[in-house]
Chain A
Amino acid sequence: MTPYRTRGISLVSLATIAGLWLTGCAAGSDNVEEAQPIKIGAVSSITGPAPFPEVPGAAQAVFDRVNADGGINGRPIEFFSEDDGADPAQAGQAARRLVDENKVVAFVGSASLVECSANAVFYAQRDIVSISGTGVEPACFESANIAPVNNGTIQGYASLLYYASETLGHEKVCPVILNSAGLTDPYLELIEKWEEETGSTAAHIDTSVVLGDDPAPAILAARDAGCEAVVFNANEPVAVAFMNTVKQQGLLDQMDWLTLTSAYSESVFEALKEQGTLGLYANSEFLPFMSDDPELAGWRTALTDAGVPLTSLSMGGYVSAEILVDVLKSIEGDITSESVTEAFRSLEPVENPLMGMPFTFGDETAHNPNRASMMVQAGENGWETVSDWVLVP
Chain B
Amino acid sequence: MRLGKPTRLGGGLFLLVLVTLGLILPTYWVYLLSTVAITAIIARSIGLVTHQAGIITLCQMSFAALGGWAVSWLDIAWPTAPFPMLVLIGGVVTAPVGLLIGIATTRVRGVELAVVTLGFATALDLVLRQGSFPGVGEGTPVIPSAPFDDPRWFFALAWALLIVLQVGIATLSRSVHGLGWTAVRVSERAAAALGVRVGGAKSSAFALGALFAGIAGGLLAGQYGLLTTAVFTPLTSMVHLVTAVLCGASIFGGAVLAGLFVVFIPELLRRIGLPLDAANTLLALGAFDVLRRGGGGLVEKLNDQLQERAFRNTRVTCQLSPVRDERLQADAMQPDGAALQGETVKHQTLRVACLHVDSLTVAFGDHRVLEAVNLTVEHEEVHALIGPNGAGKSTLVDAVTGFLPSCEGRVSLDGKPIERFGPRERARLGIRRTFQYVHAIDAITVENYLKLAAGAAGAERIPAVRELLDLPDGGVPIRLMDVGSRRILEIAGALASKPQILLLDEPAAGLGEAESRALAERVRQIPAVFGCAVLLIEHDMGFVRVASTRVTVLDDGRLLTSGPVSEVLDDPRVIAAYLGQETAS
Contacts and interface: CB of A to CB of B under 8 A. Distances in A.
Interface of A: 1-13, 15-17, 19-20, 23-24, 26, 46-48, 82-90, 92-94, 96-97, 99-101, 113-114, 116-118, 120-122, 124-125, 137-139, 142-143, 179-182, 184-186, 210, 365-366
B108 interface: no
Contacts of A86: 230
Contacts of B14: 9-10, 12-13
Contact of A88 (B2, B228, B310): B228
Nearest to A22: B268
A179 B260 CA distance: 37
Nearest to A4: B306
Nearest to B129: A181
Given A6-B7, A121-B224, A142 B13 contact: no
Contacts of A97: 28, 267, 270
Interface in B526-556: none
B439 to A, nearest CB: 25
Contact of A117 (B7, B136, B236): B136
A160 B375 CA distance: 85
Interface of A is mostly: helix
B122 interface: no
A210 B264 CA distance: 36
Contacts of B266: 85, 90, 93
- Top 6 nearest A-B pairs (CB, nearest first) are A182-B132, A121-B225, A142-B139, A6-B10, A4-B306, A100-B28
Given A1-B170, A13-B13, A85-B266, 14 more contacts: A1-B3, A3-B6, A13-B17, A16-B256, A19-B260, A100-B31, A117-B230, A118-B224, A120-B141, A121-B141, A137-B228, A139-B136, A179-B129, A179-B130
Contacts of B276: 46-47, 83-85, 87, 90
Contact of B13 (A10, A90, A120): A10
Interface stretch (B19-27, B84-92, B500-508): B19-27
Nearest to B15: A13
Nearest to B257: A12
A11 B9 CA distance: 13
Contacts of B1: 1
A19 B21 CA distance: 12
Contacts of A113: 230
Interface in B1-51: 1-4, 6-7, 9-11, 13-14, 17, 21, 25-29, 31-32, 35
B263 interface: yes
Looking at B1, B10, B231, B267, which has the most chain A CB atoms within 10 Å of its CB?
Answer: B10
B307 interface: yes
Contacts of B149: 125
A372 B585 CA distance: 101
B302 interface: yes
Contact of A2 (B32, B251, B475): B475
Interface residues of B, number: 71
A88 B225 CA distance: 11
B226 A118 contact: yes
A114 B228 contact: yes
Contacts, number: 189
A20 to B, nearest CB: 6
Most buried by B among A20, A99, A180: A20
B269 to A, nearest CB: 9
Contacts of A366: 139
A93 B263 CA distance: 8
B309 A138 contact: no
B230 A1 contact: no
A118 B270 CA distance: 19
A20 B21 contact: yes
A181 B224 contact: no
Contact of A100 (B10, B27, B137): B27
B198 to A, nearest CB: 28
B582 interface: no
Contact of B264 (A5, A23, A143, A180): A23
Interface string B292-330: 000000010011001101100000000000000000000
A114 B271 CA distance: 22
Interface string B217-247: 0000001111111110000100000000000
B143 interface: yes
Contact of B271 (A3, A16, A26): A26
Contact of A182 (B137, B141, B231, B277): B137
Contacts of B26: 100-101
Contacts of B28: 96-97, 99-101
Contacts of A93: 31-32, 35, 263, 266-267
Contact of B302 (A8, A83, A94): A8
B252 interface: yes
Contacts of B130: 179, 182, 184
Nearest to A366: B139
B144 to A, nearest CB: 10
Interface in B240-286: 251-253, 256-257, 260, 262-264, 266-268, 270-271, 275-277, 279
A118 B231 CA distance: 9
Given A7-B10, A20-B21, A117-B224, A47 B137 contact: no
Contacts of B224: 88, 92, 117-118, 121
A96 B223 CA distance: 12
26 contacts: A1-B1, A1-B2, A3-B4, A5-B303, A6-B10, A6-B11, A8-B251, A8-B253, A10-B14, A12-B257, A23-B264, A23-B268, A47-B277, A90-B276, A96-B28, A114-B228, A114-B231, A117-B136, A117-B224, A118-B231, A121-B143, A124-B141, A182-B129, A185-B137, A186-B137, A210-B129
Contacts of A87: 230, 236, 276
